[in-house]
Structure 1
Amino acid sequence: MALVSCSTAPTSATSTASTAKAVEQAPRTLRLAAPAPPVRLDPAIAADSESFRVTRQIYETLISLDSNSGSPVAGLAESWTQSEDGLTYTFTLRQGVKFHDGTELDAKAVVENFKRWATMSSKLAADSGQGFNEVFHHREDLPKLPSPKDLETKLKDGEQLSEYEQGAEQHRLQAFEAVKPVFKQTLFVGKSSAGSASYFSSIQATSKYLVTLKLRRALPSLIDALTLPGMAIAAPSALTGGPKDNPADALLTTPMGTGPFKFASNKDGLVRLEIFNDYWNSARFEANKNHPEVVLISSIASPYNRETAMRADEIDGFDLVSVDIMRNLIRGAKLVVQRDPFSVLYLGLDRRNKWLAKPEVRRAIAHAINHGQLADKLFIQGSKSAGSILPPALSIPEPEPRYNLDQNQAMQLLEQAGYKGEEIEFAYPLRVSRNYLPLPERTFAQLAEDLAKVGIKIKPRPIPWTDGYVDTVRSKDFNGMHLLGYAGGYRNEDDFLSGILAAKADEFGYTSTLLDSQILAARSLEPGDERTAAYASILTTMNYDLPLVPLVFPISALAFNSNVTFYPSSPMLNECFADIQMNNSPAISS
């Protein structure tokens, strides 16, 4: 309207034709609102879903995911083989694949990416969330197996173990006996270039399109793990030239991969992606001629503001629909696309806090929370209360005993601990939605209400997400309760365990050589009953130790206006915008 009012001159036939031609040539543009801006556009040192939302369009991995089953399929590697001992993998690369700078993908490019990850500084590696360190545990040291005496409950004179404590001690001793034979073996073979528990041995270009990767210990989940966004292959031209502490510094501002979209700009809170015309998989575009040609990703923190922007036609769609606007969207005939639950929300309990150090207080908190009400009131229908940190899709039984709502039991435990209403700090994020936490302020309020009913006094500590919320609650400077969660990247238990426990000493004030030993022993087990039992035992160890209280396995959803007719949702958030289907309206000028 403003443009029309600025011009009073008559419109000529020529200018009308030019305008019509410009509209006709305008690229199909998807305007998507995310709940937060990307933190880093280098997937090797990113850890947040919003960064990966962008980088998944620009980069690709050796192994991809089937959009329907979530199973690993050919990616940049068109095929692969594995040796009988599980220590050597050979990948045959696709030919004719180009990076966005015009250079060709070959074995040398893949090797350069792996060498960059393996030699990355510890400081940069710590910023990674779903990449090389998480897959190969490259900087980890071999845990020292505890002795049976270490696992016995320490009692003062005259004290006796309660039934609960007897169960906990018995479990610890049984878990120790189960992993002891594993640690009598030679766990890792060959020399390590990093931590003693690194699974990575070497990688080399066997020929122009053949890559050989060797491990120091079998890792049955490797092929699935190579689908993680942090394992994306970047153009070698961008891996050098930066400062000594990060030679690939250019990737932070100019990401460079082989994906269907190339990076155009990231300015004033708006990321612009454009179709890559030399993309190797032209059949993907042919199969979907209504794909977006330009994608504009903005960030709007509030789900209510995201909905308002879509209704005003300022955006075409948004992620993370909240439960209270779902009904309005359905009534308005909007396209709502749900994801199956593959993330977990939890309440962290830091043992460096005087009261949270007491097992009785941690158990009281677990019994005070109304998990079912939380899931029903603040999450999309179908979200389930969580009895462990592993989602049901992984088929690992929940541990016993389960901490069901029991306010009387909670108050008795607080009395045993000598707690008399002292304040305990409780941190929660502001101005953000996560797929595991769509309504953080209201979730905090619900939990605070539950805890108040049993006499626990909370000192709220709201922290804006973009002001370093995650860094704060995972630091030595904070030692209260906090809300956080984890979104799984591939179908494997170790992904959740490694992601959530990566900073357990700083986040929960929690260390356990028994747990570390159990996790290491379970990683090399092939799928089957033995593996299932091993992970069930790990969950039981965590259930007794209670560094955190699992809360909800949420269903998340996106919403779109009528110009988007299909969106390729994925529980693992592996959603390629080239598969989105749109009609030609509205046309957005480039």
Structure 2
Amino acid sequence: MRITGSRVVQTIAATLAVGVIATGCASERGEKSEGGDTFVFGAAGDPGSLDPALASDGETFRVTRQAFEALIEHEPGGTDLVGGLAKSWEADESGTEWTFKLQEGVKFHDGEKLTAEAVCKNYDHWFNWTGTYQNSAVSYYWQTVFGGFAKNEDKDTPKANYKGCEAKDEHTAVISVHEPSANLPGGFSLQALAIHSPKAIDKYKEQEATGENDAISYPKYSQEAGTVAGTGPFRITEWDKGNKEVTLERFDDYWGEKAGVEKLVFRTIAEESARRQALQAGNIHGYDLVAPSDVKTLEKEGFQVPVRGVFNIFYVGFSQEANKALEKKDVRQALTHAIDRENVVKTQLPEGGVAATQFMPDTVDGYSKDVATYEFSTDKAKELLKKAGEEKLKVTFCYPTEVTRPYMPAPADMYELMKSDLEKAGVNVEPKPMKWAPDYLDATEAGSCDLHLLGWTGDFNDAYNFIGTWFSGYDKQWGFRDDKVFDAVKKAEAEPDVAKRVELYKKANEVIMDYIPGVPVSSSPPSIAFAKDVNPPKVSPLTQENFAEVSFK
């Protein structure tokens, strides 16, 4: 999610050395008491895992970010990369060797010390995953940033770019890749690549994820508190799934600035109206994804409702493997013409929302003004379906329940609008509502839905973090193979010169929108709300709020 802020995309020859910054985490709502407060935050959905390496969704990362830290972080409230567990870093001239100087005196929640060997143990652990861990629904971010594994078990798993990690000394780790990538250094800031205690990793290895597609069983350690251990200002102490609450406690041995509250509770309240009522009643201290219609009401009542910058994309995904009719370009174009994106923006999004023309917001360098556009036209949609011989097209349309997202404040309502649009064009739509985590996320990642609603909030400021996430190679979510699309995206990724890379991103966007693998619908600025007596954290365009900054007035 980006709005402004310096763009941290470096040339291969560049080296960076960034000073230390204490990263935070934590927030929740509860009662104030002498000697320590509890802050309770109303989350829009359940986390899927307490191990961020197994996740790809914002609700999981909102929780784990308070307990785990990556080598690099983003500045509070901004998009610049700054030191995290590494106080500085640099790349060699080829962009294939990254050296990290680690913070000293850092302890994990289980008492282990942060060392270069601990960092390497994390990266080698991910690289050597086997079985279900190689499913892209489980190891999504590893595969996005570093490709495949030491031994790929599926022909569609991307080739490994990770080469290895070496502990040069106690506090110097060197991570090597085979080829330079636009995913670096930004990828080192991902919560999915946050650093775990080496002792905890040994315990992780005793358990396995099992299953496939939308029937994955995650390892026990990731589904209950007690095993996972990071270095953050909070440690996870309880996950009460029955009451949909995760509790974190301040970590008093934290190496940076201590958290401003003693306890942090994330309480899942799926409906936005229920979250608003809980805030108004004083049952929570804050919540995310405020409905556009509620912003002025809350502000008039004295609540704090800061707005984040626009750095997301909402889209309708097509799975060509789930429905062979979607292999026809005329069908994909027809569905795109059938959807009234401006109506979605007008009726469902806050002020500042815009209809999308491509799979990234215009706040990211690489956005093109020359992409093919598909105006709303029911007649055009019908004409194209007839041309394709698909006048009786039937699609299964999946949408998530029990959640709202920054790019998708009301999934069911947005689905209904688009369902109506498609039906007017003659498409037979079969609804398939699914619980957000892990059911919906696993199903969409596995390409089990003909059509589905999903979106993306940027992890770091590079166009590859958007289009490269989906279109640099075969992805089960989309289920298509087109070398023209893949080559255009990969060519941009491999370009070391930033200015040239941006131009290649523009060309890649034009190729993608000519192919039209799905429908980019909109981008929007999500709001977050806090109680009157709270000193809130700096809001992040990346939705990466550090709740350790929270305190009570």
SS in 2 for 1:511: coil
Query: Partner residue of 1:204?
Result: 166
Matched, 1:296 2:265: yes
Q: Kindly provide the CA deviation profile for residues 98-137 of structure 1, in whole angstroms up to 9, marking residues without a partner as x.
A: 1111221111111111111111125214344664332111
Query: Partner residue of 2:230?
Result: 257
Measure, in 1, the Cα distance between the counterparts of 2:173 and 2:435.
44
Deviation at 1:505, TM superposition (A): 4.8
Measure, in 2, the Cα distance between the counterparts of 1:212 and 1:33.
39
CA contact (8 A) 1:87 1:216 kept: yes
Query: Partner residue of 1:227?
Result: 189
CA contact (8 A) 1:568 1:580 kept: no
CA contact (8 A) 2:319 2:448 kept: no
Code of the aligned partner of 1:406: S
Measure, in 1, the Cα distance between the counterparts of 2:250 and 2:145.
30
Query: Partner residue of 1:412?
Result: 383
Measure, in 1, the Cα distance between the counterparts of 2:139 and 2:524.
20
Q: Kindly provide the CA deviation profile for residues 491-536 of structure 1, in whole angstroms up to 9, marking residues without a partner as x.
A: 1222223433589553333112332233332222135332122222
Give the direction of change, closer, same or farther, for the CA distance of 1:539–1:301 in structure 2 (3 Å limit): same
CA contact (8 A) 1:58 1:261 kept: yes
Which of 488-497 and 231-240 deviates more? 488-497
Deviation at 1:475, TM superposition (A): 3.4
* Residue among 337, 356, 362 paired with 1:392: 362
CA contact (8 A) 2:325 2:390 kept: yes
The aligned runs of 1:163-312 (5 Å cut-off) are 197-242=159-204, 244=206, 246=208, 250=221, 252-253=223-224, 254=226, 255-267=228-240, 268=242, 269-282=244-257, 291-312=260-281
Measure, in 1, the Cα distance between the counterparts of 2:313 and 2:158.
30
The aligned runs of 1:469-484 (5 Å cut-off) are 469-475=440-446, 477-478=448-449, 480-484=450-454
Measure, in 1, the Cα distance between the counterparts of 2:444 and 2:408.
16
Matched, 1:109 2:118: yes
Code of the aligned partner of 2:454: L
Give the direction of change, closer, same or farther, for the CA distance of 1:107–1:420 in structure 2 (3 Å limit): closer
The unaligned stretches of length 5 or more in structure 1 are: 1-21, 143-193, 286-290, 584-590
Number of equivalent positions: 504
Give the direction of change, closer, same or farther, for the CA distance of 1:388–1:303 in structure 2 (3 Å limit): same
CA contact (8 A) 1:98 1:280 kept: yes
SS in 2 for 1:335: coil
SS in 2 for 1:482: strand
Deviation at 1:369, TM superposition (A): 1.9
Measure, in 2, the Cα distance between the counterparts of 1:141 and 1:108.
22
Measure, in 1, the Cα distance between the counterparts of 2:249 and 2:338.
50
* Residue among 499, 505, 508 paired with 1:529: 499
Q: Kindly provide the CA deviation profile for residues 384-415 of structure 1, in whole angstroms up to 9, marking residues without a partner as x.
A: 11111112221221442211223332232223
CA contact (8 A) 1:91 1:211 kept: yes
Query: Partner residue of 2:316?
Result: 347
Code of the aligned partner of 2:306: V
The aligned runs of 1:102-141 (5 Å cut-off) are 102-125=111-134, 126-128=136-138, 131-139=141-149
Measure, in 2, the Cα distance between the counterparts of 1:580 and 1:350.
42
The aligned runs of 1:139-158 (5 Å cut-off) are 139=149
SS in 2 for 1:551: strand
Measure, in 1, the Cα distance between the counterparts of 2:438 and 2:157.
32
Identity of aligned residues (%): 27
Measure, in 2, the Cα distance between the counterparts of 1:459 and 1:81.
52
Deviation at 1:360, TM superposition (A): 1.6
Measure, in 1, the Cα distance between the counterparts of 2:223 and 2:480.
33
SS in 1 for 2:56: coil
Give the direction of change, closer, same or farther, for the CA distance of 1:273–1:300 in structure 2 (3 Å limit): same
Code of the aligned partner of 2:251: F
The unaligned stretches of length 5 or more in structure 2 are: 1-30, 210-218
Measure, in 2, the Cα distance between the counterparts of 1:258 and 1:314.
29
Query: Partner residue of 1:333?
Result: 302
Measure, in 1, the Cα distance between the counterparts of 2:181 and 2:438.
37
Query: Partner residue of 1:59?
Result: 68
Code of the aligned partner of 2:253: D
Give the direction of change, closer, same or farther, for the CA distance of 1:377–1:206 in structure 2 (3 Å limit): same
Measure, in 2, the Cα distance between the counterparts of 1:242 and 1:141.
19
SS in 1 for 2:500: helix
Deviation at 1:32, TM superposition (A): 0.5
TM value normalised by structure 1: 0.80
Measure, in 2, the Cα distance between the counterparts of 1:49 and 1:567.
17
Code of the aligned partner of 1:263: I
Measure, in 1, the Cα distance between the counterparts of 2:138 and 2:387.
41
Deviation at 1:486, TM superposition (A): 1.8
Measure, in 2, the Cα distance between the counterparts of 1:503 and 1:475.
15
When the two chains are superposed, the root-mean-square deviation of aligned CA atoms in Å is 2.6
Which of 419-428 and 543-552 deviates more? 419-428
Code of the aligned partner of 1:310: L
Code of the aligned partner of 1:412: E
Query: Partner residue of 1:538?
Result: 508
Measure, in 2, the Cα distance between the counterparts of 1:536 and 1:526.
16
Deviation at 1:445, TM superposition (A): 1.3
Measure, in 2, the Cα distance between the counterparts of 1:346 and 1:140.
33
Measure, in 1, the Cα distance between the counterparts of 2:126 and 2:521.
34
Measure, in 1, the Cα distance between the counterparts of 2:150 and 2:277.
47
Code of the aligned partner of 1:545: Y
SS in 1 for 2:511: helix
Query: Partner residue of 2:346?
Result: 376
Q: Kindly provide the CA deviation profile for residues 313-340 of structure 1, in whole angstroms up to 9, marking residues without a partner as x.
A: 1111111112232232223221112221
SS in 2 for 1:434: coil
Code of the aligned partner of 2:291: S
Measure, in 2, the Cα distance between the counterparts of 1:140 and 1:483.
33
Deviation at 1:355, TM superposition (A): 3.6
Code of the aligned partner of 1:137: G
Query: Partner residue of 1:322?
Result: 291
* Residue among 368, 372, 386 paired with 1:401: 372
Deviation at 1:263, TM superposition (A): 1.4
CA contact (8 A) 1:218 1:524 kept: yes
Query: Partner residue of 1:443?
Result: 414
Query: Partner residue of 2:428?
Result: 457
Measure, in 2, the Cα distance between the counterparts of 1:218 and 1:308.
49
Give the direction of change, closer, same or farther, for the CA distance of 1:244–1:518 in structure 2 (3 Å limit): farther
* Residue among 562, 568, 588 paired with 2:538: 568
Query: Partner residue of 2:5?
Result: none
SS in 1 for 2:352: coil
Measure, in 1, the Cα distance between the counterparts of 2:308 and 2:497.
25
SS in 2 for 1:241: helix
Give the direction of change, closer, same or farther, for the CA distance of 1:278–1:64 in structure 2 (3 Å limit): same
Code of the aligned partner of 2:338: A
Q: Kindly provide the CA deviation profile for residues 249-306 of structure 1, in whole angstroms up to 9, marking residues without a partner as x.
A: 6455332111111112112321111111111113x66xxxxx2221111101111111
Measure, in 1, the Cα distance between the counterparts of 2:280 and 2:36.
22
Query: Partner residue of 2:26?
Result: none
Measure, in 2, the Cα distance between the counterparts of 1:467 and 1:271.
16
Measure, in 2, the Cα distance between the counterparts of 1:195 and 1:81.
29
